[in-house]
Chains A and B, each alone.
Chain A
Amino acid sequence: LAKTTQPISMDSYEGQEVNITCSHNNIATNDYITWYQQFPSQGPRFIIQGYKTKVTNEVASLFIPADRKSSTLSLPRVSLSDTAVYYCLVGDFFMDTGRRALTFGSGTRLQVQP
């Protein structure tokens, strides 16, 4: 699985847009990009997944440039409840090897202030 690099931590204020960028220079042709969110003392929760260009759901947007060597998770108008760790993962999750274990890095700790 491709290695990912993301900032260790970020700070923001309520109501602001937060963009977390992840680098994945060795991404393979079949790899997808997935983001998970984790609150303290809880398991990770799927946020969004994409392959190229832009994906948007009710929670976030994911921007992927043409070379796919990076991706940016965008959280619009964050609130205090968005304080969490955000993980960027890259892998061929659709390959039916039966071994779709996720490889997590250390993630980005987002702290939202009032």
Chain B
Amino acid sequence: DTGVSQDPRHKITKRGQNVTFRCDPISEHNRLYWYRQTLGQGPEFLTYFQNEAQLEKSRLLSDRFSAERPKGSFSTLEIQRTEQGDSAMYLCASISGSSYNEQFFGPGTRLTVL
């Protein structure tokens, strides 16, 4: 257990539905990242927050994807009008404000779009 939690761990939805995932980072970590991982591939960066500010979102896969971190603590990732191609593991990671690189990953949310 890294101290980063994600909810839910698994989500099955039908195509066209909206889904929202939550990430709770380590409490003193001010930087939070979202990644997507498909089968057989390494994680792919999606977006990044420093406190409540979303500083990088150009890698979000489409305008159906959005993320928030309203109070600089937990974060949510929403996918609207899900497609079968959105099926993947969605990972959250956090890092402290220090210069040390180690990112702490949560267990991920596995999304299956039917």
Residue of A41, A43, A87 most packed against chain B (CB within 10 A) = A43
The A-B contact count (CB < 8 A) is 71
Residue of B2, B42, B95 most packed against chain A (CB within 10 A) = B42
Q: B53 to nearest A CB, angstroms?
A: 9
Q: A64 to nearest B CB, angstroms?
A: 16
The docked-state distance in angstroms from the alpha carbon of A99 to that of B50 is: 9
| A45, A98, A103, A104: the one within 8 Å of B50 (CB) | A98
Q: How large is the interface on A (under 10, 10 to 19, 20 to 34, 35 or more residues)?
A: 20 to 34
Q: A101 to nearest B CB, angstroms?
A: 4
Residue of B50, B56, B105 most packed against chain A (CB within 10 A) = B105
A107 & B2 in contact (Cβ 8 Å cutoff): no
With A43-B107, A94-B99 given, name 13 new contacts (CB 8 A): A42-B108, A43-B92, A43-B105, A44-B103, A98-B31, A99-B55, A100-B101, A101-B33, A101-B35, A101-B48, A102-B43, A103-B45, A105-B42
Q: Which residues of A contact B (CB under 8 A)?
A: 32, 34, 41-46, 49, 85, 87, 93-94, 96, 98-107
